Structures are given as structure tokens and as C-alpha cells.
Chains A and B, each alone.
Chain A
């Protein structure tokens, strides 16, 4: 158990809908990262937040957004969902803004029908 929690575990929704994925980092970690894992693209870095502020941006679509709250939990919002958004979404956390070790949560499996 990494100490990173993600909810929900599974999510099934329809095209055009909007969903919110939630992540709680390990106790004491200030940095949260979001990744998308799909069969055709592998594991892609989406975005990082550190202590409430956006720190780094990867291959995140404009339809997706994220935020980190004062209690350090983070939410990833996915809107106007398309079939291709079906994937595993992982959250990871680390103590520092630039850390060489990340701790991954168990992931949220999103299925868009």
C-alpha cells in the first residue's frame, strides 16, 4: 500500500459527459501528479500540482483540468468525454516539487461508452 488513495475505483459513463476523479496523496506529500495509462499510448504524464499550484504540464487535453485543494487532495476533471478517453488514470505523490521518487495510487479505470 503506497498510502495514495484514489476514488472511484471504476467509472462508467457516456460520451459527452463530465467526470471527476479524486486523489489523496500520502500523508505529508505536497506534490500530486496525474497520469493516463491507455493501451495504445502507454503511461502519459498529464499534470503536476505542488502545494496547491500547478507545477508542470504534460500531454493534458484542454477538455481536462485539475486542481489541488488546501488539504492537498487533488481532483482531475474530464469533460466532453470521448471513447478514446477510456483509460486508467493514476495519481502519484511525492514530498517535494522535484523528487526522484513518486508513490502511485491504485488508479481509476474510466470506461466511456
Chain B
């Protein structure tokens, strides 16, 4: 079946540190891959996406590359800010209407 596994949190980093949140997926064929972010008390917001192998999604300094050979879509940011504190969800979709989410990784950035 289709599933997403992401690294467990919580993750705590100092401001300006480098961030990596690992995400691997299981799916047949060529799913689209996503990172969503959930700020406290809010719904999920799309952060970035990639629809085919070797695509790189990027937004707000975050990046993730669709790696089919390792079935991974790791989220990275070179220098995190306090405002990046949130829960990050990796997700996949094959059909465009069924989304499979990881369990979320909580990030806290301390000044």
C-alpha cells in the first residue's frame, strides 16, 4: 500500500542551525510528494511539492528533492528561524484525491 514514514520528533534547534527532516515513502508508480506545515492552532499549509523524480520543491528557504532511487523526500533548510517552529508533515498522493500523511515532526527553534 501507500504510506509515508517521517522521522520522529520533537526536534529542537538553535536559530540559524541547519534543518533536516527525513521522509521516506512506499508507493507503486510515481506519486506526487508534499511537505505541509502546521503552525500552532492552525490548519495545514502546503509548503512545497514535487511531482516527478529528481524534481526539487522549494519555498521560504525550505527545499526537498524527490529521490526515486531511495524513495525519499527529505526536507532541508540552511538556517532556521524562530518563526519556523511548527509541525511538518510529509505526504504523498498518487491519484490526486487520496493523500497519505506521515505522523508529523514537531520543530522548535530557540533563539
Contacts and interface: CB of A to CB of B under 8 A. Distances in A.
Contact of B98 (A50, A56, A96): A56
Nearest to B91: A43
B49 interface: yes
A33 B34 CA distance: 17
Nearest to A9: B41
Interface string A71-110: 0000000000000000000101000111111111111000
B46 A58 contact: no
A42 B96 contact: no
Interface in B70-100: 89, 93, 95-100
Contacts of B98: 45, 48, 56, 58
Which range contains the number of B residues in contact with the other chain?
20 to 34
B44 interface: yes
A24 interface: no
A11 B104 CA distance: 24
16 contacts: A42-B103, A45-B98, A45-B99, A45-B100, A56-B95, A97-B96, A98-B95, A98-B97, A99-B97, A100-B49, A102-B46, A102-B99, A103-B46, A104-B43, A106-B41, A106-B42
Interface of B: 32, 34, 36, 41-46, 49, 51, 89, 93, 95-104
Given A45-B101, A98-B97, A102-B99, 8 more contacts: A2-B45, A35-B101, A45-B98, A56-B98, A58-B98, A99-B97, A100-B51, A106-B41
